[in-house]
Amino acid sequence: MHEMSEKPIHRILNLVSLLALIYYAASSINYISQSDAHIYNYDNQSHTNGSTAQLEAHRSDK
């Protein structure tokens, strides 16, 4: 009978743990996707700036 009284508590704790894990996973995925997009934009911008600098250097050589 003692085990029966602990089962609802265990179910609640398992549910809370599962919800916390889902929240952590979702926020981690959101953070990673936002930081990847930021890095991609930075790389794309630096690549464009590098290409412009190379074009200017090429023009000055002529």
Residue 48, in any domain of the structure: yes
Residue 4, in any domain of the structure: no
Residue 34, in any domain of the structure: yes
Give 15-61 pLDDT, tens digit per residue. 999 999 999 999 998 888 877 666 666 555 555 555 555 656 655 55
Residue 49, in any domain of the structure: yes
Residue 46, in any domain of the structure: yes
Q: What is the pTM of this model?
A: 0.47
Q: What pLDDT score was predicted for residue 39?
A: 63
Token pair for 49: 């700036």
Residue 44, in any domain of the structure: yes
Per the structure, how many domains does the chain have? 1
List the domain range (segments joined by +) for residue 38: 27-62
* CA nearest to 53, candidates 37, 42, 40, 61: 61
Written as one letter, the residue type at 57 is A
Residue 51, in any domain of the structure: yes
